[in-house]
């Protein structure tokens, strides 16, 4: 199919060869699972189980609360040994509410509801409801509750579902393997989602560095003429949904808007597979495929991991480190987050655990900017990163906004090419955080002022009411002013 050019972008060394040919392996059950109540964007789930309770595999542990939220389920059968705080899968290393489950090794499933009719016969409402109940979130890493995106048909006129198999981050091969090993199921999941969205057209975008995945998906999609496979040029950040949509349609998503604004919804391939599993087998999202890679890992691989398995357990399973890694990262090297601790659990959004050596990270001391404009050329969003960083460093956040800070997707292309090794994304994240904090303070001040004004008004009204009452009493012939004053006091 015809593709369109996106501006900017970089060609990082993909290093997918470390794991691209390794089939997905099931990791044996760990001794303990730590299942955070917040693994998604939105409100945390509320626990339904208590300490000491026996649960079955797939049983609901915590229900979603609020419009944007997702439930969590038991990855295996066993006993709940605690509901408390545990280090989060987050660079801060802060603790979050977590359910700790001790597997009993019996893998006893709860009752599951399966659906076998063709995707075209399903009721859109019901699909979205079941996807919500299965706790499915965007598995590409964004972890936005998928059912909310499936319900966009109510507010937007949609015409296309894009399945994102770009996997543009270096090292990561979990989506690649899924497409090779479960192509038919992904296609089925995609058709179910298309039904939920009320669209006919499905385009599956796969970068050209995954020819086997392209072939497998092509084969699985051959009997559906509404499904097309788009062979994307390998270029980071092709997996950014707005840029993927632009590559496929030539249309840009309006700033601050959604791809739904131009009639398109994007879901990740792993999400499509999770939807298939949830609808066809009734299985909630209780495991995911994680790429463990990097030159500091003895035995890299693509692993199917129960949610809640600790990173330490996973790394042990992979033979541990060959050397002390310079960086331990969750996600890909471009947009991934550093992990302060290996005790943290794998969550729904973890697509990779990378232990990188110093030579892979290739960090250098930051030198002054020489205005080479490499970052301007590399920016896929048309921003001027060097000026944004200059303004952010000087504390001039408005200046940084003027050069596009709020349109930055933090893809890191600029910092990747910067010859002066300036940590540009660090500056932008700082500035974005500062702006949010500033807006919050402003909002708070405005609220305080509004409440204070309301209070003054109320006091004033009361005073006037009293004065009115007083004068009325005088008129009606009350004699003693002193008595009236006493009353007022």
Partner 1 sequence: MTSGILVSGPYAHSNSSTARTMGLVMLALLPTTGYGVYLFGWPALFLLIVTLLSTAGAEALCLRLAGKPVRPFLMDGSAVLSGWLLALTLPPWAPWWIGVSGGVIAIVIGKQVFGGIGQNLFNPAMVARVVLLISFPLEMTTFLAPHPLLAIGSPGFLDSLGITFGAGLQADAISSATVLGGVKTALISGLELPAINASVPDWHTMAIGTLSGSLGETSSLLIVAGGVFLLATRVISWHIPVAMTGTLMLLSAGFHLLDPLHYPGAMHHLLAGATLLGAFFIATDLVTSPVTSLGQLLFGAGCGALVYVIRTWAGYPEGMAFAIMLMNALTPLIDHYLKPRVYGRDRKGNPIIKAAIQD
326-365 positions binding partner 1, by CB under 8 A: 326-329, 333-342, 354, 356, 360-365
Segment 2 to 41, residues that bind partner 1, using CB under 8 A:
7, 10, 12-13
Nearest CB to partner 1, comparing residues 58 and 325: 325
* Distance in Å, CB of 354 to partner 1, minimum: 8
Q: What is the DSSP string of 286-335?
A: -EEEEEEESTTBSS-EEEEEETT-BHHHHHHHTT-BSS--SEEEES-TTT
Nearest CB to partner 1, comparing residues 66 and 254: 254
* Distance in Å, CB of 207 to partner 1, minimum: 17
Nearest CB to partner 1, comparing residues 3 and 420: 420
Nearest CB to partner 1, comparing residues 211 and 257: 257
Nearest CB to partner 1, comparing residues 58 and 336: 336
Give the binding-site size for partner 1 (rule: CB under 8 A): 80
User: Distance between CA atoms of 388 and 371, rounded to whole angstroms?
Assistant: 12
* Distance in Å, CB of 436 to partner 1, minimum: 16
Which residue has tokens 């009293």?
466
Segment 259 to 298, residues that bind partner 1, using CB under 8 A:
260-263
**Bridge partners of 304?**
26, 289
- The secondary structure element, H or E, covering residue 96 is strand 95-103
423 binding partner 1? (CB under 8 A): yes
User: Distance between CA atoms of 205 and 386, rounded to whole angstroms?
Assistant: 32
Which residue stretch of 104-112, 276-284, 319-327, 443-451 sits at the interface with partner 1 (rule: CB under 8 A)? 319-327
What φ, ψ does residue 361 adopt, rounded to 5°?
-70, -40
* Beta pairing class for 33-36 and 60-63: unpaired
Q: Which of 21, 208, 219, 426 is close enough to bind partner 1 by CB under 8 A?
A: 426
In 194-263, beta strands by DSSP E: 201-207, 227-232
* Beta pairing class for 54-55 and 60-63: unpaired
* Distance in Å, CB of 418 to partner 1, minimum: 7
* Distance in Å, CB of 452 to partner 1, minimum: 36
Nearest CB to partner 1, comparing residues 110 and 376: 376
x/- site string to partner 1, residues 369 to 408, per CB under 8 A? xxxxxx-xx-xxxxxx-xx---------------xx--x-
Residue 30, C-beta contacts closer than 8 angstroms, at least 6 positions apart: 103, 306, 309, 310, 313
| C-alpha distances out from residue 370 to 342, 394, 405, 426, Å | 38, 17, 21, 19
Positive or negative, the Cα torsion across 467, 469, 470, 476?
positive
196 binding partner 1? (CB under 8 A): no
Nearest CB to partner 1, comparing residues 38 and 259: 259
Nearest CB to partner 1, comparing residues 205 and 380: 380
Which residue stretch of 39-47, 78-86, 202-210, 425-433 sits at the interface with partner 1 (rule: CB under 8 A)? 425-433
Nearest CB to partner 1, comparing residues 48 and 361: 361
144 binding partner 1? (CB under 8 A): no
* Distance in Å, CB of 110 to partner 1, minimum: 36
325 binding partner 1? (CB under 8 A): yes
Which residue has tokens 């050596």?
357
What φ, ψ does residue 306 adopt, rounded to 5°?
-65, 140
Segment 237 to 256, residues that bind partner 1, using CB under 8 A:
242-243, 252-256
Positive or negative, the Cα torsion across 427, 428, 434, 438?
positive
Residue 186, both tokens = 């992904």
Segment 63 to 92, residues that bind partner 1, using CB under 8 A:
91
Identify whether the C-beta of residue 481 lies closer than 8 Å to the C-beta of residue 473. no
Nearest CB to partner 1, comparing residues 76 and 240: 240
Which residue stretch of 98-106, 124-132, 283-291, 321-329 sits at the interface with partner 1 (rule: CB under 8 A)? 321-329
Q: Report whether the peptide linkage leading into residue 156 is cis, meaning its omega lies within 30 degrees of zero.
A: no
Residue 86, classed as helix, strand or coil, is: strand
Q: Which of 212, 280, 429, 435 is close enough to bind partner 1 by CB under 8 A?
A: 429
Cα-based torsion angle of the residue sequence 304, 309, 315, 318 in order, rounded to the nearest 10 degrees: -30
198 binding partner 1? (CB under 8 A): no
Q: What is the DSSP string of 16-40?
A: GGGTTTPPPEEPPPPS-EEEES--S
Which residue stretch of 152-160, 202-210, 225-233, 271-279 sits at the interface with partner 1 (rule: CB under 8 A)? 152-160
């Amino acid at each position: 199919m015809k593709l369109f050019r996106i501006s900017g972008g970089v060609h990082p060394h993909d290093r997918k060869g470390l794991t691209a040919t390794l089939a997905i392996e099931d990791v044996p059950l760990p001794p303990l699972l730590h299942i955070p109540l917040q693994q998604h964007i939105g409100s945390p789930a509320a626990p339904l189980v208590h300490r000491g309770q026996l649960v079955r595999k797939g049983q609901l542990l915590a229900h979603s609360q609020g419009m944007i939220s997702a439930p969590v389920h038991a990855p295996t059968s066993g006993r709940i040994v605690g509901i408390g705080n545990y280090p989060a899968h987050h660079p801060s290393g802060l603790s979050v509410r977590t359910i700790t489950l001790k597997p009993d090794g019996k893998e006893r499933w709860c009752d599951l509801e399966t659906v076998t009719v063709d995707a075209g016969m399903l009721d859109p409402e019901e699909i979205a409801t079941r996807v919500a109940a299965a706790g499915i979130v965007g598995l590409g890493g964004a972890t936005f509750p998928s059912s909310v995106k499936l319900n966009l048909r109510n507010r937007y006129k949609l015409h296309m579902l894009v399945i994102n198999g770009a996997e543009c981050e270096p090292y990561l091969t979990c989506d690649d393997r899924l497409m090779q090993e479960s192509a038919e199921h992904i296609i089925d999941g995609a058709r179910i989602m298309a039904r939920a969205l009320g669209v006919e057209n499905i385009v599956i975008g796969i970068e050209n560095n995954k020819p086997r995945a392209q072939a497998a998906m092509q084969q699985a999609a051959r009997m559906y003429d509404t499904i097309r496979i788009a062979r994307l040029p390998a270029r980071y950040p092709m997996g950014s949904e707005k840029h993927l949509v632009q590559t496929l349609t030539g249309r840009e998503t309006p700033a601050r808007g959604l791809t739904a604004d131009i009639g398109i919804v994007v879901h990740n391939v792993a999400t499509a597979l999770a939807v298939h599993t949830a609808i066809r087998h009734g299985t909630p999202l209780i495991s995911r495929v994680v790429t463990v890679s990097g030159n500091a890992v003895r035995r890299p691989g693509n692993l199917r991991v129960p949610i809640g398995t600790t990173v330490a357990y996973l790394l042990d399973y992979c033979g541990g480190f060959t050397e002390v890694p310079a960086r331990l990262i969750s996600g890909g090297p471009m947009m991934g987050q550093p992990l302060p601790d290996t005790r943290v659990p794998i969550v729904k959004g973890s697509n990779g655990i990378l232990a990188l050596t110093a030579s892979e990270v290739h960090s250098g001391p930051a030198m002054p900017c020489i205005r080479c404009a490499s970052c301007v050329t590399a920016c896929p969003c048309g921003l001027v990163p060097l000026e944004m960083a200059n303004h952010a460093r000087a504390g001039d956040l408005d200046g940084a906004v003027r050069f596009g800070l709020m349109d930055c997707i933090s893809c890191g292309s600029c910092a990747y090419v910067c010859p002066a090794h300036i940590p540009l994304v660090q500056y932008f994240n700082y500035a974005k955080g500062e702006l949010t904090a500033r807006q919050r303070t402003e909002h708070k001040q405005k609220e305080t002022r509004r409440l204070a004004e309301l209070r003054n008004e109320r006091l004033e009204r009361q005073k006037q009411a009293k004065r009115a009452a007083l004068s009325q009493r005088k008129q009606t012939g009350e004699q003693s002013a002193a008595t009236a004053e006493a009353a007022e006091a």
